[in-house]
């Protein structure tokens, strides 16, 4: 099993490419090589293939947070979870370039992105288990009530926590050059505790339902 994240920039014609493209690429680079593991295409869309599907939700929120923090830009992401191409048995190392790859995970992700565009939803998941999808997409909508309204400061702290979960609040304050009290306030406003619990629950349920 793999996870495929397909996304596009919300209102891309009104956004500054010189800001959001570097922000998006800097996030995607955390998950592999351009062309092999991820690609930005059609001017405002991207695709990312994850060999560990348990990481799909944390990756989606990290990308979302970085786009807001660094470019004040929102992104729409559909997570497809399922088999990759039969020819590589869905396991790394992959020999097929990302742009030439296919399989259920890619199809599920692309279809879900088309669906959420029409519904104006910024994050959703699609697998081969409709009941599982229904439960998770409902939960994600509750998380997005806060996440879709992150300020740049809130998104910045979420980004930092997801990339460096080992940091203490004192260390985060030093890295962001702000007071420690501001770190606590940003964490609370961002709803990070709920987000982190949701990400951990996602990983647990994925370990039960989907094996990498």
Residue 101 within a domain = yes
Q: How many structural domains is the chain composed of?
A: 1
Residue 21 within a domain = yes
| CB-based contact 45:75 (threshold 8 Å) | no
Which ranges constitute the DSSP H helices of the chain?
17-28, 56-71, 104-119, 130-147, 152-163, 169-176, 180-190, 192-209
Residue 39 within a domain = yes
Residue 212 within a domain = no
Residue 50 is classified by DSSP as E
User: Domain holding 97: CATH number?
Assistant: 3.30.70.270
Range of the domain at 27: 2-207
Residue 99 within a domain = yes
How much is the pLDDT for 90?
A: 47
Residue 142's nearest CA partner among 121, 162, 156 is 121
Distances (CA, A) of 111 to 55, 81, 158: 21, 12, 28
pLDDT tens for 23-75 read 999 999 999 999 999 999 888 899 999 999 999 999 999 999 999 999 999 99
pLDDT tens for 138-184 read 999 999 999 999 999 999 999 999 999 999 999 999 999 999 999 99
How much is the pLDDT for 99?
A: 64
Question: Sheet containing 75-82: which strands, arranged edge to edge?
Answer: 38-41, 45-50, 2-9, 75-82, 123-126
Residue 184 within a domain = yes
Tokens of 100: 């030439």
pTM: 0.91
Q: Any bridge partners for residue 141, and if so which?
A: none
């Amino acid at each position: 099993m793999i996870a495929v994240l397909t996304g596009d920039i919300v209102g891309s014609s009104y956004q500054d490419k010189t800001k959001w493209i570097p922000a998006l690429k800097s996030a995607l680079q955390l998950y592999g090589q351009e062309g092999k593991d991820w690609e930005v295409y059609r001017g405002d869309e991207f695709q990312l293939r994850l060999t560990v599907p348990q990481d799909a939700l944390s990756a989606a929120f990290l990308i979302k947070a970085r786009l807001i923090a660094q470019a004040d830009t929102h992104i729409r992401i559909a997570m497809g979870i399922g088999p990759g191409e039969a020819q590589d048995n869905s396991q790394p190392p992959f020999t097929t370039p990302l742009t030439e790859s296919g399989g259920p995970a890619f199809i599920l992700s692309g279809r879900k992105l088309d669906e959420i565009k029409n519904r104006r939803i910024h994050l959703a998941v699609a697998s081969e288990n409709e009941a599982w999808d229904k439960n998770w997409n409902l939960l994600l909508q509750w998380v997005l009530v806060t996440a879709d309204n992150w300020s740049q400061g809130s998104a910045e702290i979420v980004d930092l926590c997801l990339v460096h979960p080992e940091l203490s609040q004192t260390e985060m304050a030093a890295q962001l050059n702000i007071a420690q009290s501001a770190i606590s306030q940003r964490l609370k406003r961002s709803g990070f505790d709920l987000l982190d619990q949701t990400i951990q629950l996602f990983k647990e349920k994925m370990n039960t339902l989907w094996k990498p």
